[in-house]
Structure 1
């Protein structure tokens, strides 16, 4: 019997003792689960009856999200980073508020429909009083990171679910939310728990260090190299008293919030701390421990809050010694002009088609577009057309009325198109949508009305449409698998996300992703040679593949280590190849693979012609506008001219 099967058997016997025999389950289940079962058993018997939990109304969800706006902004980088990690695990990442209400959910399109069936979706309350023992609600009670796996859930209907969650605290020790990874029981383990614990700590650090403050912010650690990283301790000091602290600071000082808050700063940091004023130096605290300390002055009332990063594809500001000295070699964010153009197109009400290789970050780009667009206050409703069975996609998109078919939910289902009203609808992998649904979608886009299954009335809808694909839609049209009129309708504006190997900013991106993968929290750094080796990789899996490698590297590295090429686990041939040769090969490979994909050979030809026209035939300018490396575009143009393609003459450097 496997370890997982053995554990499941033990839990089943514990359930028998507790729920049927009425006896204590003993030490056969985790202590936090046993305590939770007893709490839930004391609640109303209604909790023990399987029930479908309904989400709160959209208006109330908007109010709850607004009340947690700062938490959501500071948690967004962790949501995006964790989502990239769990995508291949068939899991989702969830952020809830302090009451257990789910605010946001991202992750595997394979698991999202299952999550919706058990009400693990935004707007649903997952506190213990509503959903029994579960990682979100139980973490709120226990005030610590924990797992609830399979039969450990109080409600039997959640028995196939595995969850790992960690609470998020503000500087005063108040619970403000929970980060959670959920999926099928077999996909959640102690590694997932470690990830959410680390992510929660990073959110707390960002909330405190980036927020507006009246007093001084004291950053400290026993190791100077960890100052400025999410592993540093943070104290907020006002009029000489501690008014805020993160959990790392409390751990370093051996204290709890009740002891630290209100205490004189000199009791924690020593009498000399004030001599530093707004500067850095070494202090010896009253316990005799030496601390590296950096003190920041209070912010003026008009000082803007620093904006939290919004994911691995977004350029963020870091404390970089090169920037402080006035020197930086980081290239501009290659996606910024693509985003700016897409925002203008969306504001005009035109649909957007995002193309790019698998793993290049199409979904992250769309989330970034939604946050920056005029629809930011509305919902972003994402549907993965490849993940839904053909028999379910119609009901999922268009909804249905009560009693429309056998097994339909009582009171029906609004459908994703109606849920997107007032916001943005994101149809991922649009090339996998069945032809029958393409016909119905075309009618919706033309008339802007939806008729649910079993309904007799049309319902008006208003949303911005963004689609994404890695497939050659023009080739699908030729094969009779995609409607040509729908393609014309969808490609109001084509955004081509460049593959990682062709991104001019990939070196800076790799450094940032290393930090976001946990490298900053562990005080890790990459040598220039290691970055060179990462740049030489072809990265067929793009950003997703890179993140997976970096997380493995971070997990294996010792804290504070400097990582060289040998620590990356790259193939010897790639690690040793001359950088210049690899760059040329990457550029040729990038052009060739894009050409083979068909998107550059059809849809993207028009985008390139347009970019060249707008830049007066200048290839360098067109490459910047398209987010491509200039050499990649040169090689592509040369190949297309060699194939007899017209319309690319008269270009310049």
Structure 2
């Protein structure tokens, strides 16, 4: 039957492509026809193939999810709500990045295996170049919502699927990713997907708007709609502008409507509204806006940065001591150098340090010197004036040094900064002035610098790969963070991060003993970053409310996990004992060091049959 369906589909695709130019109306939509043609002629794909989609390795999937971490975090709740609305009809929900790689998904356990066989799974790749015509690929090429219904798919492996997808854009109009709802079986009539398409488009807009509001916290923001009741929940217009009225961000629907109305995108809010009147519009209730007739909206001022709580409540005693000393050093206007392995939490430490310092109300600006091409670091750090070089923005660009004025600049992976830029940075730190590219005058900046690296800067200085004078200026105080495998609070961190990732995935899970032992004994070369990715993956694939050993990636499971019942070589038991002995059997101190409550500590002492000595006095 499969072979017959495959042959029939190949014949249909070949016949349509061969005769499309002669037919008054093609039997498939133009978008599908164009995609079929590219799949056949450009990508040389086989329409008869029954092979499933390519699945990323765990390490590549982790990299993709890490790069899209903010997008994932913001989209998670909306994806979960969408799944709640469609799961009764046996739909699954996928979230892909801008290359069509599935970085999150939701599916009912009853159809999980069938969906996985069909390729509807975490890590699958749905670009047109790999899989031909499909829902995600159609959105990637058209940048618009699409339903690809059954035999619209190019490859025979997918002709039973119905996929409805919509794009999500960032505030600058660039594609962030795709929301896709797919069914293994659905009615033959394409119109049956009308309601699903509305839900998918609504979810994509919801994610886009949430991403916009997160990105625009430092700007004036206007939300607007033709109906007052929709201003808050479903705004058609989202506009963000700076103190001078220059537009910094516009949501995709507003971009489309403004181009239709004006023939171009405006550069200043004053082209649309009277700026002084606009600032008097309420921030809490919808009012008729002065301009662009018929719109109601509200305007909010830039948000003041509030002191944030530490990102990880569990805390190692060494890190707490480092944080206390580093805060005193930083408040004396000295630079701080944070050392540690990749993923050990250097940026988290830097953020906590900023939040506890006298500059807590100022900006915290970050630059990862290893993540940006060498050709772009200079303009990112120093900025440039209009016309400074070919391809420069006509408005110029403020550099990160200027953005950090009055606050903290965090330079991650400082060891990867090119030598010629080290010279320029040294001058800024010495003189407190910055010269944007192409500028005739220097500008005063008041910044404090925190740097981080996993490299041995002293060796790099000896080898001539890092400036000695910059090293001595940056390394006034050095603080080395312990790797995860050496942290005494790793038990608490595991449970804390598991709770965060389970909530993000919309599931409730508890750790089985064997899984906990594996997590405790593993050496974690990628440290906290790797732990978070492993727990996120395990939450996505686990079933039945419990996270088992087999839900962990192979490299974490290892071969020598000993059952907790043996009580001898159990990492969790040893961790408890070490903490209790180190803190002289004081439960409160041991629990604090482990990052758990006293009640949890007592329960685990009982579970592992640890006898507490009777303390005199």
Q: TM-score, normalised by structure 1?
A: 0.46
Larger radius of gyration: 2
Q: TM-score, normalised by structure 2?
A: 0.49
